[in-house]
Structure 1
């Protein structure tokens, strides 16, 4: 059994290294839910390897293995679910896993063949892991790493299924196969399963890191108050040649400084969030490009359609009443609209829309004005009722 000892200790070292990596990633990125499940699973793997090495021939050791193996796959399943944005396993799967594990413990106390004793807890492992792998395979819009997790998950399931009739060999007990070589089984099977399980753990860590990178990228492109695109992200968007024609709407909340001065900045922030929420319901990309100034990019949209969208937003905001402000103070915003052609950046249209916005301000606010390139001072076409 010298080969088994070497394999156990080697795999144990790899698992301990993965636990250390998980802890370092958790401390560095402070994203711990999936990592916590994975670290718990890896810890169970470490204990299982130690039991296989030192206590597999005792009744207590076998009972420990019967509980540890389902726990390993349960923890791994929850880690995969958390990292892929899936809900945790439902109660029926959890109860089924517990019931099958308990059945194995009962059979261990009865005079039945070892193969039969070990079947239920391995079925528990298959149940919980198959449920998660199928849920992940059905997920729409999977990340490429999620696809890798699906492939590895099914390979691990194949290994667990093949292990069912051969598992007694790991404990030096007879198997249904008379010509079976337990040493060869350990050499090949444990190595393969060790590689698959290690690959699965590495894939989970990679998915966690990918999630963190996406989160930081999202944060770097979003305005903290409104969750709209910030100025830098919106500028990058309009500096690229447009794939299609469209329009830009520039918006500014009227007399916002007076609202801030009279009712306080917390009320001003709520007004900004309310306007941003209305804006985000329209167009393709909305951004906060100044304190109370916003921009809305509309693709495949003509100038008249864009003006109608701006008017719809204007009316919705004009009818809004904030409890802290009261009905005596009306909220309003002014809008400038300009069009752009396909294949050119929308930056020029944004400047034209900005000039139209300030023309709307000069004409009395709470209105929509379309930019006219021939006229440096666009005239308002839509006014407040």
Structure 2
């Protein structure tokens, strides 16, 4: 019998001390839970194509005699297809279950990548069609894993730590993915990178689909309506916040490039985004380690405020080494904000739309990154742009905080649920 099926135990008045109850759960504790390490590892492996494919497209386009513009256009098409497909496939999982949807998406996406492995980018029509299919049918692994965490974590504190571990580890996809693509292209024809991506994506997705928690997972028997997760007003506001947060990170890459040219320090272009990624991992770890009795609305307000504040020093255009040091705090604030955002999305998602809601989260953030990069390119990458969008994210988070506060006030007595003991 699972934790969800277990009836509440008799109330024992000699409860543990407050300190024991509030002691945070660490990532190692989460990874020792049954299925946790397997599911997290398989999910990360299945998502590596998301980090590999855009770089592989750039490399293949150059190797096939095309300009950077063609490779960039194909990479953008892939990103757009992923952004469109994630919420739609998430809705399908919410309605039909995980196993068949994951297997169908993984097989279709892998087949499209294998077409790219054979044809590369010699025929642009074939390449564009394969890219679109590969992106649109990539299974919503991130949302699926987050829907499974409540089934394998015994308490709310374990769940909070699991979500933080999950969001922090996603940085590995966008660090290891490009490195894997470059390494494969260095020792073999460009097409091999697509074949490697196909194998990793398919293998990871099938490992999750074959796991007991995924096979036991059942969709909620509710009607979500045509709007699905978007029928929640609070959800729509939260997606707007995430779009602006994505814009902040998208503007960073261009700001780092222009800063490297201003200061004649070419290494800044790659190191500054890496500093943010390292900070994000540190931020999620630190956020997990903090005992937070505050309500979710206050946690969101706090993380959004810190995220806005820590970008201000960079707007002063500091010298190279100072800029590198100053990118870590925004990364840490981003890690904490994103971890909190996952909890907010889970709270605001209408019943039966959780995986779709996580798909919209990914789509909103990806769209924001694209818009932020484009805007920064037009404005020639000023540091003031990410600072301004971070402040806008804080302003837009206010309606979300109000709705969360109203939900908290309207909720019944804060007695622990037998389904999720605290």
- TM-score when normalising by structure 1: 0.25
More helix by share: 2
More strand by share: 1
Q: Which has the larger radius of gyration?
A: 1
- TM-score when normalising by structure 2: 0.23
Point out which structure has higher relative CO (alpha carbons under 8 A, 6+ apart). Answer: 2
